Amino acid sequence: MIRTSLLALALILATPALAAPVRSPEQIAAAALKAAPVWDGHNDVPEQLRSRIGNLLNDFDFRDTRATAREGKAAMHTDLVRLRKGQVGAQFWSVYVDHTLAEPEAVRQTIEQIDTVKRLVARYPSDLQLATSMAEVERARKAGKIASLIGIEGGGSIGGSLAVLRQMHALGARAITLAHNRTLAWADSSNDAPRHGGLTEFGNQVVREMQRLGMLVDLSHCSEATMMDALDVARAPVMFTHSNARALDGHPRNVPDAVLDRLKGNGGIVMVTAVLNFLSEDYRVWAAARAGEEARLKSLHLGYPDRVGPALAAWSTANPAPAVSVTRIADHIDHIAKRIGVDHVGIGGDFDGTDELPKGFEDASTYPALFTELARRGYSQADLEKISSRNMMRVMRAAEAYATARRNDPPIESKAVNLSG
């Protein structure tokens, strides 16, 4: 009996265990997005609502916007059907206003855009839920709704006033991009001539006050010096809501490796974006050449503007744009993950904020294609869950924890800056 038992045991031990079934990249991506739906850092639907319909929502159908092409505008990239198909569980809606506005007007229009987001969310209570904290994000997701957060794109929207900053927080804004495409009286932009060498002392106070309140400091659109100054001041993680790696594309909107290295110590996140100019150096060079040709043609045909369009079209036919696909987004994720770790990467698509998107990532339904590409490259399900939303959840929790620890600190007091300075 003992010999028989030992023989049976030996046979069992010698029998190869059944290997777990190998999952396809599509299956790995699907499992990751089911467990951790996408938290996207930047979507410009509110800007589209202002420019297309003047923020008049009563006759607007956000369930399906595929038929919204008109008057020279392409169809919108985002609607409820495509957000669901794309497995989006949380979204920062950008309340961008024109960066060339005088700042008092920018403040007014930003408040209007916040109102627009709140009214849009209220119109679709089965799908959208306003969120101003991690607890509210989690409640929305447990209820099967898309957590809707408000992000201000451009520090001009606070009108040079910490009091206005605090009131924007009270209205529900939970992130502010320090500068947009124009250098402010207190912060240098990546797309404008620098005036301060980064942040002024008032700019430092903006960062401190935002973090005291628990607002997320967004460094997309900021100059490298502004990025570095903000990281000097920050005591909680910061974010880039829609930026890429400058090592792969030299656009000043992207994040240099030196900043990435500091971001790791800060605990922050870069939410990789899909704008072609920020994805592909080849495309960026082509776009600059096309802009130069357009300027040449306008000068050449001065007084005959109707000749410019056909001539530029002929140039574009002879000089086609370089192809850019969803794989290029994955390349930027690869660079950041290899440089500072997968814990510091997220997604900020910039849908409805650009007309130039890569093949395979054309609208809000296409996030699974990106995550499938990442799975093909060897990212585990756990890695993909971090990229889709867990990293962003960590960053927001850390910002809230810092604010809780400073809750007894008085508001920072400062005179409003001279906006003409």
Name the token pair of 361: 């990532």
Task: Give the separation between CA 261 and CA 256, rounded to whole angstroms.
Answer: 9
How do residues 202-252 score in pLDDT, each as one tens digit? 999 999 999 999 999 999 999 999 999 999 999 999 999 999 999 999 999
How do residues 253-304 score in pLDDT, each as one tens digit? 999 999 999 999 999 999 999 999 999 999 999 999 999 999 999 999 999 9
Task: Give the separation between CA 179 and CA 223, rounded to whole angstroms.
Answer: 9
pLDDT of residue 18: 57
The reply to whether 363 belongs to the active site is no
Q: Are residues 274 and 286 in the same domain?
A: no
Q: Are residues 195 and 318 in the same domain?
A: no
Q: Are residues 186 and 308 in the same domain?
A: no
Task: Indicate whether 16 belongs to any domain.
Answer: no
- Specify the CATH number for the domain of residue 222: 3.20.20.140
Task: Indicate whether 52 belongs to any domain.
Answer: yes
Q: Are residues 319 and 214 in the same domain?
A: no
Q: Of 77, 169, 221, 332, which residue is the catalytic one? A: 221
The reply to whether 221 belongs to the active site is yes
pLDDT of residue 7: 45
Q: Are residues 104 and 250 in the same domain?
A: yes
Instruction: Collect all residues with Cβ–Cβ distance below 8 Å to 181 and sequence separation of at least 6.
Output: 99, 189, 191, 192, 221
Q: Are residues 287 and 366 in the same domain?
A: no
The reply to whether 138 belongs to the active site is no
Q: Residue 126 burial (CB < 10 Å; 0-12/13-18/19+)?
A: exposed
pLDDT of residue 111: 98
Q: Are residues 329 and 345 in the same domain?
A: yes
Task: Indicate whether 241 belongs to any domain.
Answer: yes
The reply to whether 196 belongs to the active site is no
Task: Indicate whether 10 belongs to any domain.
Answer: no
Q: Of 350, 352, 363, 373, which residue is the catalytic one? A: 350
Q: What is the mean pLDDT of residues 358-381?
A: 98
For the chain, give me the number of helices (H) and strands (E)?
17, 9
| Mean pLDDT across the chain | 94
* Number of CB atoms found within 10 A of residue 136's CB: 15
Q: Of 153, 188, 218, 383, which residue is the catalytic one? A: 153
Q: What is the mean pLDDT of residues 350-365?
A: 97
Task: Indicate whether 59 belongs to any domain.
Answer: yes
The reply to whether 344 belongs to the active site is no
Please name which of 399, 415, 405 lies closest in space to residue 174, comparing C-alpha atoms. 399
Amino acid at 173: A
Domain total of the chain = 2
Name the token pair of 402: 């810092």
Q: Of 180, 196, 332, 335, which residue is the catalytic one? A: 180
Task: Give the separation between CA 393 and CA 398, rounded to whole angstroms.
Answer: 9
pLDDT of residue 416: 82
The reply to whether 44 belongs to the active site is yes
Q: Are residues 147 and 289 in the same domain?
A: no
Q: Are residues 122 and 269 in the same domain?
A: yes
How do residues 148-180 score in pLDDT, each as one tens digit? 999 999 999 999 999 999 999 999 999 999 999
Task: Give the separation between CA 343 and CA 407, rounded to whole angstroms.
Answer: 28
Please name which of 174, 80, 186 lies closest in space to residue 132, comparing C-alpha atoms. 174
Distances in whole angstroms, Cα of residue 81 to Cα of each of 64, 90, 142? 6, 15, 19
Q: Are residues 228 and 83 in the same domain?
A: yes
Last residue of a domain, one of 268, 295, 323: 323
Task: Indicate whether 4 belongs to any domain.
Answer: no
Q: Are residues 183 and 311 in the same domain?
A: no
What is the per-residue DSSP string for 296-335?
HHHHHTTT-GGGHHHHHHHHHHHSPPPP-BHHHHHHHHHH
The reply to whether 242 belongs to the active site is yes
Q: Are residues 294 and 152 in the same domain?
A: no
Q: Which domain holds residue 231?
A: 23-280+325-405
Instruction: Collect all residues with Cβ–Cβ distance below 8 Å to 268 and sequence separation of at least 6.
Output: 234, 237, 238, 239, 240, 344, 395
Task: Indicate whether 205 belongs to any domain.
Answer: yes
Q: Of 169, 242, 251, 335, which residue is the catalytic one? A: 242
Task: State how far Cα 64 lies from the chain centre.
Answer: 22
Task: Indicate whether 2 belongs to any domain.
Answer: no
